[in-house]
Each structure stands twice: as structure tokens, then as C-alpha cells.
Amino acid sequence: MITPHGHLTYCSNIHPGEKWADHFKSLRENIPYIREQLAPGEAFGLGLRIANEASIELSNPATLAEFQNWLDEQNVYVFVINGFPYGGFHNTVVKDDVHTPDWTTTDRLEYTIRLFRILAELLPDGMHGGVSTPPLSYRLWWKSDTDKYQATRDATQHVLQLLDKLIEIEQETGKVLHLDIEPEPDGLLDSISDFITWYQEMLLPEGTIYLLEKHGFEPSQAREVTLRHIQLCYDICHAAVGYEDPADIIADLNDHGIKVGRIQVSSALKVNFDTEKEVKLRAIETFDEPVYLHQVVARNADNSLTHYPDLKDAIKDWNGNQEEWRVHFHVPLFINSYGVLESTQDDIIKTLALHQQSPFSSFLEVETYTWGVLPEDMQKPIGESIVRELEWVKKILEHE
């Protein structure tokens, strides 16, 4: 929906369906209710998740036309696509496989190109649009620094091939589309700081050479084109897990001229071990579930950070000496505490306050996708949960 602070939506990765027919069914069952509760009589924006199999099916002109007709009938518009999970995301073990295939592969490149072709057809005239994507690869798959560096270079070359397609789409349609890369704990781009370093030290230099050879662009033109089409997906949960300060992030992005394609509004779990240590450890154990990765970044007494690939690893290593845990578990936005546990809701409030003062993205996308694996007492009907999330964000944005 359109707000004074940008287009606000939610990501449909909350709905199951790797086949297009299944996902479309979920959209038909939920979108009319959600739109009516939040924006009756107004246009409603949708952040669309399209799995690989669904992307192949939706590339059929007749199938895409059927979907576009339904969007028109419902007064719904698509302006962002979630292209992070390639395959199954519900009712299966996801864990680190969420990064498969990564950007070192042509499978990831071809899938993402399909998503952009679909978005170019669905995107309303006069709007730009983005596709979110993983942070190049999963860091723990690569054992040595040399391997990590080579994987980053290989991934960067595929990103540049994607950039070439985005230039082509803009020339064909006049629509500006951007790849929104989403740093995540234990990604090759583990943090927004990592993303900025990669952008400055590898993407722009390699891109300058690539665009000179492909298009004859001068360095200044190559930089401008890269900044337009390769942007950041700023996931507030992920930044909070890494203890990144919102004001510092935004200042650093501004210093380098890097754009934010979308703000993903999301919240992580936080455990303060100042008191009731064993009680809190028992409480966080209830969130150790087998579907998604729940990376943990622990803050030690000397303010150093210890990274754990998953919650079970942090629990196993617990010795009572760490002061705080941040857990990658997308919990509901509107809840600040879970008994003795807390959330990183304050990071959302800080980030949105900075956005109010000086807008740094046109798009805000709520991404709480873990409803189905939350403890039973927190689970509510999906439609009601989405409405409550979006209403909470609207209220925060309206607060001066």
C-alpha cells in the first residue's frame, strides 16, 4: 500500500507453494482479506515470492496474463519479488540449503533473470522494482580464505552478467529494475559492512572493466549504472543480529552512494544473560527447530563477538559467560518480549525513525515468515497475523 514514507507491503514467502498453482491459490485465499483490512478501496502492493519451479510456469505468457488479470481485478500491484529461496521453503528442512544454488552457479543467474523478466511485465508504469537475492553464497561451504575469495569473484561475475540483462531490460522497456542483495549472518556477505566493502573493492572495479568491454561505458557511467541496478536489501533483523547500528549503516551507505532497494522490516530474538541465565537458556531452547537456520551472534564480556551457525550450536557451547545473544529467528514485529526473552524491535523503531527523517528507500517489506515454526501459543491465522504486522509498522511510521 502507498504511505507517506513509501510503498509498504509484506513478502508472500509466508505462503507455501513451490508450484505456481499452489502459491497462486494461497494468494487468492489471503490477499482479498488482507487488502480489505488495510487498504479498502485503495491499491495494495504485494511483495511476491516466486520459487524456481513457479518462475518457469509463470514465464508462460498465458499464465502470466491470468495472474495480471487477477491483480487488476483485486487492485493489487507487484513491485518487488523475493528471489532468495530458490526451492522449498515450507514443510521441508531448509537450513543452509536456502542459499542453494548460490551465485557461483548459472542456475542462480538464470532463475534471477526469469524473475526480472516477470517483474518487468507486472511492474506498473512509472515505478522501479527489485528482486532480492542471497549474499552471494554461504560462507561455511568454503573452507579457506582462498576458496572464499574465489567464490566471491565467481559470484561477482554472474552478478555482472545479470547487470547486463538489467541494462537490456531498461533499454527495451524503460523500466529501472534493481537486484537487492541481502546480507545475512554466515553469508559470504555476512553484514552490511561486508556488502559495502565488496561493492567498493570488487563489484565497482570489476564492473568498470566489464561495462567498458560490453558497452564502451566510461568509468563514471559504469559506476552510475552499477549503483542504479545493484542495490542493498536492508534486512533489519539481519543487521541487528550482527549488532550493526542503523545510523552508522545509513551514514556509510550515503558516503558511498549505495542505494537501498528495499527495507525488509523484520525482528530477531535477543537474550540478555545479565540475570536468570539458566531460565533464559531453557526458554531459548524452545525456539530450536529443524526447518530454518537460526544463526547466533553472542556478545562476550570484552565486547568481542562469537558466531554460531545455528541455535543448537550456541546452546551446546553455552558456558554461562556470554552477556547477550542475538538469534536469527524472524519473530513477530509487534511483540517486544517473549517471557524472559526479548526481541530486536528497538532496531526496527530506530531504523524507521531514521527513514522518517530522511527517506533512504522507496519500499518497505515486512518479512516475518516463521509463523509455522513458532511455539504453538504464538501461532495465529496467517491473514490476521499479516494484518497485525502491517498495522504495527504503519503506526510506527505515523508517529512523529
Residue 313 lies in a domain: no
High-pLDDT (> 90) share of the chain, %: 86
pLDDT at 400 over 90: no
State the average pLDDT for the chain. 94
d(CA 156, CA 276): 46
For the residues 298-316, what does the mean pLDDT come to? Answer: 97
Residue 378, pLDDT > 80, answer no
Is residue 368 helix, strand or coil? coil
Confidence of residue 125 (pLDDT cuts 50, 70, 90): very high
d(CA 283, CA 287): 8
Q: Determine which of 104-118, 139-153, 250-264, 322-336 has the lowest per-residue pLDDT on average.
A: 322-336
Please determine, for residue 94, whether its predicted confidence score (pLDDT) is greater than 90: no
pTM of the predicted protein model: 0.96
Q: What local confidence, expressed as pLDDT, does residue 91 receive?
A: 52
- Confidence at residue 373, expressed as pLDDT on a 0 to 100 scale: 45
Helix H or strand E encompassing 179: strand 177-181
Is 234 part of a structural domain of the chain? yes
Average pLDDT over residues 229-252: 98
Residue 266, all three cell numbers = 523484520
Q: How many domains does the chain have?
A: 1
* Domain assignment of residue 262, yes or no: yes
CATH of the domain at 83: 3.20.20.150
User: Do the domain assignments include residue 329?
Assistant: no
Q: What would the mean pLDDT of 209-229 be, rounded to a whole number? A: 97
For the cut 50, the answer to whether the pLDDT of residue 20 exceeds it is yes
Using the predicted structure, report yes or no on whether residue 43 has a pLDDT greater than 60: yes
On whether residue 210 sits in a domain, the answer given is yes
Judge whether 156 lies within some domain: yes
**Closest Cα to residue 392, out of 352, 341, 343, 339?**
352
Q: What average pLDDT does the segment 377-392 reach?
A: 80
* pLDDT grade for 61, boundaries at 50, 70 and 90: very high
- CA-based nearest residue to 98, from 71, 134, 50: 134
Residue 318: inside a domain:
no
Mark out the alpha helices in 102-191 (DSSP H runs). 106-122, 145-173
- Whether the pLDDT of residue 29 is over 80: the answer is yes
Report pLDDT for 262: 98
Mean per-residue pLDDT, 101-128: 98
> Residue 337 above 70 pLDDT?
yes
Asked if the model's pLDDT at residue 284 lies above 80, the reply is yes
Given a cut of 70, whether residue 370 has pLDDT beyond it is no
SS (H, E, C) 182-238: CCCCCECCCCHHHHHHHHHHHHHHHHHHHHHHHHCCCHHHHHHHHHHHEEEEEEHHH
Let me know if residue 246 belongs to a domain.
yes
Q: Where are the beta strands (DSSP E) in 256-362?
A: 260-265, 267-272, 296-299, 305-308, 324-331, 337-338, 341-343
Q: Is the pLDDT of residue 160 over 80?
A: yes
User: What percent of the chain clears pLDDT 70, i.e. is strictly above it?
Assistant: 95
pLDDT at position 174, please?
97
**Containing structural domain, residue 134:** 2-268+343-398
Give 15's pLDDT tier (boundaries 50, 70, 90): confident
